[in-house]
A and B are shown apart, each in its own frame.
Chain A
């Protein structure tokens, strides 16, 4: 690729989004394009394929594939290149397959677009392709629809579709970003294996420096439509030349970097260890929390099956403590967070700031909600787009009749200052802010009532690493100043390692390991914890796992028949509060 420039139409005329991007990609190698959101990495890939969305176009440059300049090819020739010579897989396996076509049809269709094969021959090839991406029971899967497959399986199908015509180049745009970490490890391993087998060149686009370190031969770092740095992977990580790269790498949490530290990364040094203070009652005490949902059906809408979302979990959170709840999708971690605020029906016992919240009416819950608040994952979706952010942050005070008039105004200004936003922000609407700023607004909203504990559900997962680091810093400052507790729900082990005092690992609705951060991360006892830690890609190419475990298993479904009674894990005490299932 030489000097690619691209522009998108905007109200002020064309806006340049790519400026003179150049790189080479060789047979059998993996080139990673790394960058944060808005860096132009996806646009680069889409222009290569001639798939730019409406309004965007290439303004200059050329792409040579063998002896062909792709930008000069007529559309008819380009059809042969797409899927035939350059194939692509995307970020969202859940939406990237046609929901009303069987995966077999979608695979056969790709095969027959480029190869002259009979219908039955294509079917045989397709089933074989499904097998080579390690989909078990391929002949049956062939006849299934996308919704019958898990996210990881769908991404395997996407890879099978991409590789079925033996392309020279595979473009993978954030292929594992939407997947759980153990599934991510499987997909990355699969891509490596297939690359060796087919000698495919891979152009891997990702924001995750861990994935870059794990996969890349060479790296192109992009920022705001320009190439910042381009070098082999070892040089980029060990001696980055550009300030931007250095800053980016510094912001990336590296798993294992917290060894030998006894407090969270950004915590103030004067901090008193929260665990030592045994006389105070915990801010949150949970005993035998169970959440189940019935799936109803039939003539009388009777329950048919049951989702065992959370099964008899118990934990405490002390004042000023961060307890991290980690696990993969469907393990019940978000459900647990919602149960603490009585947002869904549950069984067991939960006490917040000494008050038992079982069966409280919404009115009776109101005073409890002053003590416990929540921040969600998506800062775009959790703010009402038609209200000014000032009103959004003031709303809790109005609802609880805790302030009005000038006092209300002053409190809101103070909250905005506390999260690093000026008073001029108050009168603006959510769409005028960036993702990081919006998450600050959400934090301000959660702080409005002076809560004792905040449930942070994947609150930094949608943010770019540099912004993520700033938000984590803010959360830590708040904890130091206000003695806040956090229930930090996350799938990201590297972030959890930085922020938590204690960690609880959830698997299929149960806590399988619970203990001080250092104990869980440095001396994991339970197999699942070990697997989770091993699956995390580390942003350090020298720590690349040479021979990865080629796992194919997936987490079983928590949907069970009605008469199912779960096997409860028995937690064994390994000392110092470190519990793990045997």
Chain B
């Protein structure tokens, strides 16, 4: 177990270095000039050149990347071009709200998606099943900003149950979490439905019924835990999808997380922040996957880590 975790963590460092290189190249190829953005429209060519030199933007590509990587390996994400603050400080301030939102989003999508999936499987081919599958299809295909705005309109503006936007109280969390989880809920409902249908056909479910167990016990104790096994691995992958969702959802709801930080930085070509947020997001995905694999170990006794 310890050897496995160590190997996976070492591997994740290589992944992060790879991602940092790809992101760096993409930002380098960008036609926008950060120095001109900072200097403003009226600045002279000399001022722009001055800023470029200060930031080291005049150096050749490989040198810029090696410098960045060197800093990165010492835990230094650099300084924001515009806010003149350490990127790590900015991210540290913005990360807790984002993690809270993601956690709530995952919880929402699992609770809704898995429940609906089980219900649909048990009522297979009924009207209810068909209705739920249409709903899940809507969930998978509806753009998140549309879902977010609709939820705000109905539950915040019309009904007034929740605040329109902002951050602070549990009420603030509900609508963004639902928006974030809506897509995943559709996904999980479909996956759980087919996983349940598969498990219900298995021999051990027949054994459980042959023992004379009640239907509820057969489903909850025997079928559902086994149907969850393939879902667990999906949760790891899901972290990546949520990471991209967070940028949209935080903007719609004015949520002060790293999604908004990234959005603002992209608009102003604030390269150190873009790099920093990308790496944090990548790291979260890697950790999320590792977490899912370790979780699988606990739910499925047959899995042995090697």
What residues make up the interface of A, taking CB atoms closer than 8 Å to B?
49, 51, 79-84, 87-88, 90, 92, 95-101, 109-110, 113-114, 145, 147, 158, 161-162, 296-299, 301
Contact = CB atoms under 8 A, between A and B. Distances in A.
B46 interface: no
Contacts of B208: 98
Kindly list the 4 A-B residue pairs having the minimum CB-CB distance in the complex, ordered from nearest. Answer: A83-B212, A82-B212, A297-B306, A83-B211
A237 B6 CA distance: 66
Contact of A113 (B202, B212, B300): B212
B222 interface: yes
Given A145-B301, A296-B306, A96 B211 contact: no
A53 B199 CA distance: 13
B212 A100 contact: no
Contacts of B221: 101, 109
A342 B7 CA distance: 34
30 contacts: A51-B210, A79-B212, A79-B213, A79-B214, A82-B211, A82-B212, A87-B210, A88-B210, A90-B203, A90-B207, A92-B203, A95-B202, A95-B204, A100-B226, A100-B299, A100-B300, A101-B221, A101-B222, A109-B213, A109-B217, A109-B221, A113-B212, A114-B212, A145-B301, A147-B302, A162-B210, A298-B3, A298-B306, A299-B3, A301-B306
Interface string B1-20: 00100110000000000000
Interface in B180-228: 202-204, 206-214, 217, 221-222, 225-226
B229 interface: yes
Contacts of A84: 212
Contacts of B207: 90, 96-98, 158, 161
Contact of A99 (B206, B211, B226): B226
Contact of B210 (A82, A99, A109, A145): A82
Nearest to A50: B209
B225 A100 contact: yes
Contacts of A81: 212
A88 B203 CA distance: 12
B306 A100 contact: no
A299 B7 contact: yes
Interface of B: 3, 6-7, 202-204, 206-214, 217, 221-222, 225-226, 229, 299-302, 306
A98 B301 CA distance: 11
A32 to B, nearest CB: 20
A81 B211 CA distance: 9
A298 B4 CA distance: 7
A98 B204 contact: yes
Contacts of A79: 212-214
B123 to A, nearest CB: 13
A296 B306 CA distance: 7
A83 B217 CA distance: 15
B206 A90 contact: yes
Which of A99, A158, A161, A297 has the largest number of chain B CB atoms within 10 A?
A99
Contacts of A82: 209-212
A434 B222 CA distance: 35
Nearest to B5: A299
Contacts of A113: 211-213
B175 to A, nearest CB: 36
A213 B14 CA distance: 65
Contacts of A110: 211-213
Nearest to A93: B203
Nearest to A90: B203
Nearest to B299: A100
Given A109-B211, A145-B301, A298-B306, 18 more contacts: A51-B210, A79-B212, A79-B213, A81-B212, A88-B210, A90-B206, A97-B207, A98-B204, A99-B300, A100-B301, A110-B211, A114-B212, A147-B301, A147-B302, A158-B207, A161-B207, A162-B210, A299-B6
Given A51-B206, A95-B204, A100-B299, A161 B3 contact: no
Nearest to B199: A98
A60 B3 CA distance: 62
A145 to B, nearest CB: 4
Which of B208, B210, B221, B222 is most buried by chain A, counting CB atoms within 10 A of its CB? B210
B281 to A, nearest CB: 28
B212 A99 contact: no
B194 to A, nearest CB: 15
B211 A161 contact: yes
A541 B213 CA distance: 38
Contacts of A96: 203-204, 206-207
Contacts of B302: 99, 145, 147
A147 to B, nearest CB: 5
A296 to B, nearest CB: 7
A109 B209 CA distance: 12
A248 to B, nearest CB: 27
Contacts of B300: 99-100
A439 to B, nearest CB: 25
Contacts of B209: 51, 82
Nearest to A98: B204
A90 B229 CA distance: 24
A533 to B, nearest CB: 32
A87 B213 CA distance: 12
A98 B210 contact: no
Given A80-B212, A84-B212, A299-B3, A99 B203 contact: no
Contacts of B7: 299
A80 B211 CA distance: 9
Of the candidates B208, B212, B229, the one having the most CB atoms from chain A within 10 angstroms of its own CB is B212
A51 B211 CA distance: 11
Contacts of A301: 306
B212 to A, nearest CB: 3
A81 B209 CA distance: 11
A101 B229 CA distance: 13
Contacts of A80: 212
Contact of A98 (B6, B222, B306): B222
A8 to B, nearest CB: 15
Contacts of B203: 90, 92, 95-96
A299 B217 CA distance: 41
A549 to B, nearest CB: 30
Nearest to B208: A98
A51 B3 CA distance: 47
Contacts of A88: 210
Contacts of B226: 98-100
